């Protein structure tokens, strides 16, 4: 449990704008807490989640209300734990395209494939969503700045949002993090602390710093609020489907938090009455080099065995000790979904499939999802009459290192003349009509 001292640093930025938050509730024993800075139950140490006064939410939160809201996650503010007014001072992520991927659906053999394209958020990953919500709590709680432990994308998202709000930002990353992610966090003005160790080491140190210096670490002491931002990816998806649910959704998993958020988002929409009570199969994808939750699912185990030294090209999923692992595993099982763990070579192939058939350049996390989709269509787990949604959570441009060996293809050096090139166009050319 972490309880921080309250030290106001910007009184004037505080907004008392309303929310419908009822309480923080322990996911294990149900004990209720006031919605403060707390991320675990003091009785059983289980994580907490935000609950809303659903009766009051229901009174205003209709499809029409949502349709007339802003083009960002804040259209769902009655089920977010931060005031819309304060939140909209940030970068306003969300309402990313849900792309109908007919080429890839045909190629892989499934009726309908939709990609929720979160590569186009303000800092090019879905992490802008959870950050947008948790960062606005930093003002409400009067903390001394923002922070995070990150495998890369969260660093940029927290740094950029902090820049927009004008507050200090401290990010802890494992050494060797993708340069594109490190340099963008530096460019946004964050203090970047490179830990000589893994993500899990960065996470442990962040816990200590958060406590000692009253800093709002978005994914640590503000974690219950953080996952609320992530659930908007599921809410947007069903809204963009005309308030219909897909048969299944495939979610990339690091700590498993995004997968739990997708489930919470769908459950709340059912409870409010915005979508029918049909079951969506919630499926998780992890790289084989860091398969914690997926390995437990595949072997039918109940225990999650941490991976000490994750090794995968999908660095944003390289979390050895997944904080939301047990919950993610139980959601996958209960919903009738699957978990899968493709190899790195399949992950790169998945990235290229999406890029070459749909024009979407995802980072390896997205490749992991597409690789799992391909494997599960091939083994018959996903039948060809399904509508599948893939969450593509990060942009490929930040993670180029693993493609520099030529696995995405090689440039053709032509000197500086067209001499001798005719054959090239004849063999590669294809008439477009
Ligand atoms: C953080 C992240 C995820 C999911 O992480 P969880 O820890 O499971 O919530 C997925 N994809 C990308 C690109 C990420 O940065
Ligand atoms: Zn408890």
Please work out whether the CB of residue 256 comes within 6 Å of at least one atom of ligand 1. Answer: yes
Alpha-carbon distances, residue 201 vs 1, 23, 153, 196, 204 (angstroms): 18, 31, 17, 8, 5
For the stretch 185-197, pLDDT in tens is 999 999 999 999 9
pLDDT band per the 50, 70, 90 thresholds, residue 321: very high
User: In this structure, is residue 201 part of a structural domain?
Assistant: yes
User: In this structure, is residue 168 part of a structural domain?
Assistant: yes
For the residues 307-324, what does the mean pLDDT come to?
95
pLDDT band per the 50, 70, 90 thresholds, residue 3: very low
Q: Can you give the pTM of this predicted structure?
A: 0.94
Q: Per-residue pLDDT for 311 more than 70?
A: yes
Predicted pLDDT of residue 5: 37
Number of domains in the chain: 3
- Give residue 44 CA to ligand 2 midpoint distance, Å: 4
Beta-carbon count within 10 A of 138 CB: 27
Choose one of 206, 226, 246: the last residue of a domain: 226
**Nearest protein CA to atom 1 of ligand 1, as residue:** 316
Angle at CA 34, nearest 5°, toward 30 and 35?
A: 100
pLDDT band per the 50, 70, 90 thresholds, residue 6: very low
User: In this structure, is residue 420 part of a structural domain?
Assistant: no
Is the domain of 21 the same as that of 60?
Answer: yes
**Nearest protein CA to atom 12 of ligand 1, as residue:** 393
Residue-range definition of the domain harbouring residue 56: 11-87
Is the domain of 253 the same as that of 344?
Answer: yes
Is the domain of 70 the same as that of 196?
Answer: no
- Give residue 47 CA to ligand 2 midpoint distance, Å: 8
Average predicted confidence (pLDDT) for the chain: 93
Q: What residues have CB less than 8 Å from 206, skipping those under 6 apart?
A: 147, 148, 149, 172, 217, 220
Top mutation candidate among 93, 116, 254, 392 for ligand 1, by most atoms within 8 Å of CB: 254
Q: Per-residue pLDDT for 431 more than 70?
A: no
- Give residue 54 CA to ligand 2 midpoint distance, Å: 22
For the residues 242-251, what does the mean pLDDT come to?
98
Choose one of 181, 201, 226: the last residue of a domain: 226
pLDDT band per the 50, 70, 90 thresholds, residue 15: very low
Alpha-carbon distances, residue 159 vs 166, 183, 192, 364 (angstroms): 10, 11, 9, 22
Q: Per-residue pLDDT for 374 more than 60?
A: yes
Q: Per-residue pLDDT for 1 more than 60?
A: no
Closest CA to 313 of 200, 394, 249, 195: 394
Is the domain of 184 the same as that of 264?
Answer: no
- Give residue 224 CA to ligand 2 midpoint distance, Å: 14
Is the domain of 102 the same as that of 184?
Answer: no
Is the domain of 282 the same as that of 346?
Answer: yes
- Give residue 278 CA to ligand 2 midpoint distance, Å: 29
Is the domain of 294 the same as that of 355?
Answer: yes
Structure-token pair, residue 219:
């994914």
For the stretch 252-267, pLDDT in tens is 999 999 999 999 999 9
For the residues 348-368, what does the mean pLDDT come to?
98
Angle at CA 14, nearest 5°, toward 11 and 20?
A: 150
Is the domain of 283 the same as that of 371?
Answer: yes
Q: Per-residue pLDDT for 56 more than 50?
A: yes
For the residues 173-192, what does the mean pLDDT come to?
95
Please work out whether the CB of residue 130 comes within 6 Å of at least one atom of ligand 1. Answer: no
Is the domain of 371 the same as that of 237?
Answer: yes
For the stretch 270-283, pLDDT in tens is 999 999 988 999 99
Q: Please state, in angstroms and rounded to a whole number, the distance separating the CA atoms of residues 137 and 307.
A: 32
Please work out whether the CB of residue 399 comes within 6 Å of at least one atom of ligand 1. Answer: no
- Unique residue bearing structure tokens 């403060």: 36
Q: What is the percentage of the chain residues whose pLDDT exceeds 90?
A: 88
User: In this structure, is residue 300 part of a structural domain?
Assistant: yes
Predicted pLDDT of residue 430: 64
Predicted pLDDT of residue 424: 81
- What kind and span of H or E run contains 92? none
User: In this structure, is residue 411 part of a structural domain?
Assistant: no
Beta-carbon count within 10 A of 425 CB: 9
- CATH code of the domain covering residue 293: 3.40.50.1100
User: In this structure, is residue 4 part of a structural domain?
Assistant: no
Is the domain of 208 the same as that of 341?
Answer: no
- Give residue 223 CA to ligand 2 midpoint distance, Å: 16
pLDDT band per the 50, 70, 90 thresholds, residue 429: low
pLDDT band per the 50, 70, 90 thresholds, residue 420: confident
**Which pairing describes strands 98-100 and 48-52: parallel, antiparallel, or unpaired?**
unpaired
User: In this structure, is residue 331 part of a structural domain?
Assistant: yes
Predicted pLDDT of residue 11: 37
Is the domain of 103 the same as that of 149?
Answer: no
Is the domain of 272 the same as that of 346?
Answer: yes
User: In this structure, is residue 76 part of a structural domain?
Assistant: yes
Predicted pLDDT of residue 8: 39
Alpha-carbon distances, residue 136 vs 54, 149, 150, 166 (angstroms): 22, 18, 19, 12
Please work out whether the CB of residue 282 comes within 6 Å of at least one atom of ligand 1. Answer: no
Please work out whether the CB of residue 392 comes within 6 Å of at least one atom of ligand 1. Answer: no
Measured from the alpha carbon of residue 46, the closest ligand is 2
Choose one of 226, 252, 268: the last residue of a domain: 226
């Amino acid at each position: 449990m972490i309880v921080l001292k309250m030290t106001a640093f910007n009184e004037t930025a505080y907004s008392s704008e309303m929310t419908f938050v009822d309480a923080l509730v322990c996911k294990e024993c149900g004990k209720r807490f006031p919605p403060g800075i707390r991320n675990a139950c003091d009785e059983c140490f289980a994580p907490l989640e935000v609950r809303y006064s659903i009766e009051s939410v229901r009174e205003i939160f209709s499809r029409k209300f949502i349709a007339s809201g802003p083009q960002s996650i804040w259209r769902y503010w009655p089920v977010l734990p931060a005031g819309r007014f304060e939140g909209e001072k940030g970068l306003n992520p969300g309402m990313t395209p849900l792309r109908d991927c007919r080429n890839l659906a045909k190629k892989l053999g499934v009726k309908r494939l939709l990609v929720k394209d979160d590569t186009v958020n303000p800092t090019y990953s879905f992490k802008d969503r959870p950050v947008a919500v948790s960062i606005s709590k930093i003002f409400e709680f009067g903390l001394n700045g923002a922070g995070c432990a990150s495998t890369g994308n969260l660093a940029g998202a927290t740094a950029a949002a902090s820049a927009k709000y004008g507050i200090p930002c401290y990010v802890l990353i494992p050494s060797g993090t993708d340069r594109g992610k490190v340099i963008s966090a530096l460019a946004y003005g964050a203090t970047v602390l490179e830990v000589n160790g893994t993500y899990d080491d960065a996470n442990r140190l962040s816990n200590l710093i958060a406590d000692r210096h009253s800093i709002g670490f978005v994914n640590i002491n503000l974690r219950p609020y953080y996952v609320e931002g992530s659930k908007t990816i599921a809410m947007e998806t069903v809204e963009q489907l005309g308030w219909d649910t897909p048969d299944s959704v495939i979610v990339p998993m690091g700590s498993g938090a995004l997968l739990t958020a997708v489930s919470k988002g769908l459950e709340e929409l059912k409870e409010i009455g915005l979508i029918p009570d049909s079951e969506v199969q919630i499926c998780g994808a992890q790289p084989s080099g860091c398969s914690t939750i997926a390995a437990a699912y595949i072997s039918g185990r109940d225990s999650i065995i941490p991976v000490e030294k994750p090794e995968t090209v999908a660095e944003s999923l390289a979390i050895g000790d997944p904080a939301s692992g047990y919950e993610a595993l139980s959601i996958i099982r209960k919903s009738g979904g699957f978990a899968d763990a493709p190899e790195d070579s399949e992950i790169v192939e998945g990235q290229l499939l999406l890029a070459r058939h749909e024009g979407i350049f995802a980072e390896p996390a997205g490749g992991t999802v597409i690789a799992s989709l391909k494997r599960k269509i091939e083994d018959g787990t996903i039948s060809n009459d399904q509508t599948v949604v893939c969450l593509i959570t990060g942009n490929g441009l930040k993670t180029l290192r693993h493609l520099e060996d030529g696995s995405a293809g090689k440039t053709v050096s032509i000197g500086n003349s067209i001499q001798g090139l005719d054959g090239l166009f004849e063999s590669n050319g294809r008439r477009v009509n």
